[in-house]
DNA sequence: GTCTATAACTAGATAGAC
DNA sequence: GTCTATCTAGTTATAGAC
């Protein structure tokens, strides 16, 4: 996980843990099973991690750090907010579908963190979410986007995008790139299309 | 739960179970604690339910059944697809925010069901999702909506809407009715607004 | 319908050998 | 770095009294 070129035991444990935590939940996963699928015995886990909690925390901390750093690079090299948002959407879907186990756990197991770990991860989550908020704010300022509630719209967007990893099937007919295009189109223009622009109000 | 007027012990257990399953997960919740917060001792749970699994199943079965029956009534009395969708969106958000614990559990604890129970709940989920798919298909046929991938769009919609119950704060400044309006507007017209309709493609 | 007591088992974590 | 053995505690579920 720290060095993707070497599949050290630690890396294997983290990868298997993410898989099991997603399949059975954090509480539903036991360390003997995790050890077995990592190729070692139960007790050996504790050579690499001090507790089950630490494994969960490291998965989340790593995932959020990568997400933040990659999205940062991505939008740093692109000045136009519309194009920034397109790239951000594409990236979020790609990363979440390519790392389903880790991102699912990071998303769904916040409740299983100790209070201290919880605080740290929430800080990172807010940081990531704030990047999307900022892009949209810039889009409004540039008069490219029309939104009256930036926070709500960012949340709606991220939940919709994260949802892709819940149903995405790598063996299905849709490529990730096509899916991203469809989401971009939906989020930008909605379902009503130009012809129905007269129903602007939502009573 | 079966008769909302009487808060029988069974009803109380189901309500408390939904709350605890959401807070700590199904595996993370123990029956002594559930019993305690329901006002009885651990062993007494088994007078009302045969197992922990049965409690989970009943929460989900009840929630899905109500969702399907209510949305059925709602769109049955409205012929126009645009208006049907507005009502459906409003209903989904309202029900999910008013019954956060039950809907969250129904959404997130599918993995904790036994294979037999899993199959039954998935049938109900598909039934509910199919109602949204049908509305959108009708909307396309009536040339009110422009969508090339109905399944994807329905999933995007439902994930976005369900997400409201994850951040909704009853003491916050936004009323559910206002939130529903914002989501309807977003889903119908997108964020780009009329003026930018020329960027139709999403490269 | 609820209680107490307990059976049967499983879990996270530790210790010390190799 | 991994093993085996084990401690300690907690878990679902059952049994029988009230």
Sequence spans of domains, chain B: 52-191
- At A177, is the secondary structure helix, strand, or coil? helix
**Residue A5 binned pLDDT confidence (cut-offs 50, 70, 90):** low
- Among A33, A43, A38, smallest CA distance to A11 is for A38
Mutate to test the interface with B, among A172, A189, A200 (most CBs of B within 10 A): A189
Q: Which nt is closest to the CA of B30, judged by C1'?
A: D11
B52-191 in CATH: which number? 1.10.357.10
| Stretch A131-141: mean pLDDT | 98
CA distance A38 to B112: 23
Q: Is the pLDDT of residue A27 over 90?
A: yes
- At B25, is the secondary structure helix, strand, or coil? coil
CA distance B188 to A192: 5
B46 touches strand D (CB under 7 A): yes
Mutate to test the interface with A, among B20, B149, B164, B190 (most CBs of A within 10 A): B190
- What is the distance in angstroms measured between the alpha-carbon CA of A10 and the sugar C1' of C18? 22
Q: Is the pLDDT of residue B175 over 90?
A: yes
Length in residues, chain A: 203
CA distance A135 to B13: 46
Do B166 and A159 lie within an 8 Å CB cutoff?
Answer: yes
CA distance A40 to B176: 51
Summary mean pLDDT of chain B: 93
DSSP string, A125-151: HHHHHHHHHHHHHHHHHTTS---S-HH
Between vectors from CA B196 to CA B192 and to CA B201, what angle results, nearest 5°? 85
A52-193 in CATH: which number? 1.10.357.10
Q: Is the pLDDT of residue A147 over 60?
A: yes
pTM score: 0.94
| Stretch A19-27: mean pLDDT | 98
């Amino acid at each position: 996980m720290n060095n993707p070129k070497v599949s050290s035991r630690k890396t294997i444990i983290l990868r298997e843990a993410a898989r099991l935590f997603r399949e059975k939940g954090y509480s539903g996963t036991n360390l003997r099973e995790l050890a077995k699928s990592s190729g070692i015995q139960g007790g050996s886990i504790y050579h690499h991690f001090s507790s089950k909690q630490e494994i969960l925390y490291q998965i989340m901390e790593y995932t959020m750090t990568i997400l933040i750093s990659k999205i940062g690079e991505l939008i740093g090299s692109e000045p136009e907010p519309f194009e920034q948002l397109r790239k951000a959407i594409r990236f979020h879907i790609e990363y979440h579908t390519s790392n389903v186990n880790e991102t699912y756990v990071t998303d769904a197991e916040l409740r299983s963190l100790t209070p201290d770990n919880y605080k740290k991860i929430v800080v990172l989550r807010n940081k990531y979410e704030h990047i999307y908020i900022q892009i949209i704010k810039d889009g409004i300022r540039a008069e490219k986007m029309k939104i009256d509630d930036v926070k709500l719209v960012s949340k709606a967007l991220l939940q919709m995008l994260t949802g892709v990893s819940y149903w995405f099937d790598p063996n299905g007919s849709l490529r990730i790139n096509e899916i991203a295009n469809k989401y971009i189109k939906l989020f930008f223009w909605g379902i009503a299309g130009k012809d129905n622009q007269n129903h602007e109000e939502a009573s």
